[in-house]
Structure 1
Amino acid sequence: MATYNTDVVVIGAGTAGLAAERHAREEGATTLLIDPDFAGTTCATTGCMPSKLLIAAADAAHGARQAEDFGITTEPKIDGRVALRRVRRLRDGFARSVRESMADLPEGTCLRGRARFEAPGLLKVDTGHRIEARAVVIATGAFPAVPDSYEVVKDCVLTNETVFELGELPESLGVIGAGPLGLELAQAMSRLGVRVEMFDAGDRLAGLPKEISDTLLRILTEAFPIHLKCKPEPSPASDGVRLTWDDGEKEFSKLLVAAGRPPALSGLNLCKAGLELDRHGTPYFDAGTMQCGDAPIFIAGDANHDRPLLHEASDEGAVAGYNAAAWPDLRGTVRKVPLRIAFTRPEAAVVGTIPDAEGHVCGEVDFTDQGRAKVEGRARGLVRLHARAEDGRLVGAALCAPGGEHLAHMLAWAIQCEMTASDMLNLPFYHPVLEEGLQTALRSICRQANLTRPWQRDDAQRPGSDGGAPIV
């Protein structure tokens, strides 16, 4: 087989890998992109998009049931086969768009296969090809973890890579893992008429701060049971699988295992790459340059397990690709404010940094009394904003609230722009909107940090003075 010589080789054609290859090529490097399938990104095929399609179906069913609160009587009739066919049809369209973009890559860029290191800068592909590269980008993504104990019921086990292939909705579903994906799919399945129960060994939902986790837990458990600090044991049952835990036992037709997605690194033979690895087998790397140690090897996206989110994977891939092409002349980057969202209903999110109490103040708002939320029949949730005590500058937020995905973006932008609570209060808040709810928390921070509003400064026009508008 032939030996390829290239400037930059990228292992993995997901979001991070595609961004890395493109940016390396735009810097004038010759590139090679290796992937076993070139099937499309995780987001398009088994992650973000199909899960949101299922959630959209669940929202429609829930809206029909809730219509009675508004004087509209109806009862949804759910055809699971049709709902799942729509998920796959639109999902396949998203994935096809990604594959079509790959087809536009320069001829000879893509090599189908699995690569592994034989030495630093030298790779062997299972096709027999060898690749000598000046720099390497690892962008192999992650895979669903299924504990060994579930091998005995493997025929009933689903993961994010298989759940959307169901021909019809299961009668019942046990969900293992209360992370964002598990929560989203559990609630969606429940709203689509599936009997659902959730189990997690931890004491919080989706790694949320306690106050927000407790709020979301109270809301979700109105629809289906959630067992925390619980590690059930699976065993075969006549109609599916039996889960047994300390104080209970229940049978389910299917299990969805959403117990995490570790980096897909085991087949790379990293011991031959000359890299120092952490206890999980992941290379140590610089989050500003994506470089592994001092080697011309870079790692991006879910493969580094730092911020396993699509927008972060795209950013990391861009940095890794640029630096791989420019090596050894590296350029660091300032990372964006961390932003994590779980698309439950209501949505939950963590933005920025949740600090210890010392030196910081916290303002919160209970959405059970928020006007627009009441209008829409969605009055529930909690938002907590964190700011520096010395100047009221926002540093983080955690929330579980209607419209939470939009509130979280608004707060992320404010934090990245280094705004204070006073700065935010001086921006327009239309009425009536969900965003108005933030004002309660922002005002609390201003009081605790002894901040004045901009219109209260001596050099500002007083409200009600000539030409000034009164503050209401």
Structure 2
Amino acid sequence: MREVRCDVAVIGAGTAGIAAHKAAREAGARAVLIEAGPGGTTCARVGCMPSKLLAVAGHAAHDARAAHRFGVRVPHVEIDGPAVLGRLRAERDRFVRLVFEGLEALPGEERLSGRARFLDGETLAVGDATRLRFRAAVVATGSSPSLPKPLEGLGTRVLTTDTVFEIPDLPASLAVLGGGPVGIEIAQAMARLGVAVSLFDVGHTLAGLSHPDLTRAAAEIFGAEIDLHLGTEVSGAEAEGDGVRLFFKGPDGAGSVRVERVLAAAGRPPNVTGLALGAAGLRLGEHGMPEFDARSLRCDGARVFIAGDANGLRPVLHEAARQGRIAGRNAAALAVSDAASAPEPWTALAMVFTRPGTAKVGASYDAEAGNARVTGAASFRDQGRARVEARNSGGLRIWADRRGVLLGAEMIGPDVEHLGHLLAFAIEDGLTAERLRDRPYYHPTLEEGFESALAEITRNCGAGG
């Protein structure tokens, strides 16, 4: 068996792993990147980029059908499913190719191919032919889609977020299991491309929203295009012809629906099975996950770090990359000393690229906060720019502490990806509602929608003082 030595071993060549490897190298460590395949990062291959490519096609079809609102008549909108998916894959493959080009530029001795497993706290087996001795390691093995038990045994009738973008044509009908960010993005895109979509979720919220006003708005908005079944459990499934019949139980009783395909979009658990983490001396908790510090990413005092989707904190790409950098730098430092930094987490920022879009920023909504928080509200229904563009739906909620210091927000509305960023920067800088309100807001822009929410917080903080 070939033996290789390094300072830092990075397991996984996705967003977090690539960032960790680069950070370790920049810190002067001899780092080795291990990839079991298929590679290309989750974002480029099966996540952010292909889902957005599907979404923009759906939005184009929707905009063409809705152009009559402006006196523009589009007599007929035709959806060419193979062409939609062909462009999606061509652009997706370009993004993946760019990732691979970056990896191929690495010296050969810094890359290993094969599935890694820990033999002890300083040794990895990579495949059957290589043993890698390390001083510190980073686990960045990503995640994989889960398949609900009722869908087992249905073969290609069931799609996952890893396979949905490989279908040759759009299905006539689709059931989406899961109303989180990925599920609702794909569900709306498919519906706008002419697919009859039913969405099932055991919860009562969509797109990760939690404020009651906004969850109701989301159900109303998305329910106009999608057959929603919230608070509903899919209890069984069986093949029927070339499709699937789903059986479900919900608030209105039991029922069933036949669809051509089913998309399982209810989550992506971390890829930690098979790593033999216990052999590295790690204390494992529920589902075989190691205990680790959420700031330094160090596992239970060992010389092992865990970053990206693998740690179950569900970071989106920008956070996964930052986690990789933190883990890589710390692993490099730990390879020669016992030092590890623990930077503060960034202000939380999550978005869903539906139309209207959604965003969550900073501290989550807390129904039990009571008088400790002050909330400001704004609606996009009558907001000037939103009405000009006939995108006047949804609203936002911003919360602050009793001093007016901004804590967090949720929103659903037009272009909220930009509003979300502005609020994230304001929260990161410790601004109060009053200070953020005293900024230049050009007219007419969607950013003016902040004004009423910030004014409400300012008034209520003053009244409470």
TM-score, structure 1 normalization: 0.94
Q: Deviations over 1:405-433 (max 9, x none)?
A: 11111111111011111111111000000
Structure 1: distance between partners of 2:182 and 2:289: 23
- What's the CA shift for 1:199? 0.3
Residue matched to 2:382 = 369
Partner of 1:468: none
Matched to 1:70, the amino acid is F
The amino acid that maps onto 1:404 is V
SS at match of 1:395: strand
1:289 maps to what in 2? 296
Q: Structure 1 CA distance, aligned partners of 2:383 and 2:414?
A: 10
Structure 1 letter corresponding to 2:417: E
- Aligned residue for 1:129? 130
Structure 1 counterpart of 2:153, which letter? V
Cα contact 1:239–1:252 (8 A) shared by 2: no
1:52-101 deviation line (CA, Å, top 9, x unaligned)? 00111011000001101111111311111111100000110011000000
**For each residue in 1:241-292, what CA deviation from the matched residue of structure 2 results, as whole angstroms up to 9, or x when unmatched?**
0011133211111111001000000010112111112212211111211100
Once residues 424 and 205 of structure 1 are traced to their aligned partners in structure 2, the CA distance between those partners, rounded to angstroms, is: 29
Q: Which residue of structure 1 lines up, in the alignment, with residue 352 of structure 2?
A: 342
CA contact (8 A) 1:38 1:99 kept: no
Hey, which bits of structure 1, 4+ residues long, moved more than 6 A? Answer: none
Give the equivalent residue in structure 1 for 2:241. Answer: 238
Flag structure 1 segments of 5+ consecutive residues without an equivalent: 453-472
* Deviation of 1:119 (Å): 0.9
- AA of the residue aligned to 1:101: G
For the residues of structure 2 that align with 1:451 and 1:89, how far apart are their CA atoms?
A: 57
Whether 2:391 is the aligned partner of 1:378: answer: yes
The residue that corresponds to 1:273 in the other structure is 280
After TM superposition, list the pairs within 5 Å mapping 1:21-32 onto structure 2: 21-32=21-32
Alignment of 1:221 onto 2:212: no
Cross-structure match for 1:253? 260
Equivalent residue of 1:174, what SS?
Answer: strand
Q: Tell me the residue number matched to 1:448.
A: 460
Quote the Cα distance in structure 1 between the aligned partners of 2:213 and 2:311: 29
| 2:318 paired residue among 311, 322, 346 | 311
- Indicate the RMSD between aligned Cα atoms, in angstroms: 1.3
In structure 2, how many angstroms separate the alpha carbons of the residues matched to 1:39 and 1:336? 27
**Counterpart secondary structure, 2:314:** coil
User: Are residues 1:429 and 2:432 paired?
Assistant: no
CA positional deviation for 1:38: 5.6
Residue 130 of structure 1 aligns to a residue whose secondary structure is: strand
- Are the counterparts in 2 of residues 115 and 124 from structure 1 also a CA contact under 8 Å? yes
TM-score scaled by length of structure 2: 0.95
Q: What amino acid is aligned across from residue 176 of structure 2 in structure 1? A: V
SS at match of 1:267: coil
SS in structure 2 opposite 1:449? Answer: helix
Is the Cα contact below 8 Å between 1:422 and 1:451 reproduced in 2? no
**Residues matched between the structures, number:** 451
* Counterpart residue number, 2:331: 324
Q: Structure 1 residues 270-279 or 185-194, which shifts more? A: 270-279
- Any unmatched runs of 5+ in structure 2? none
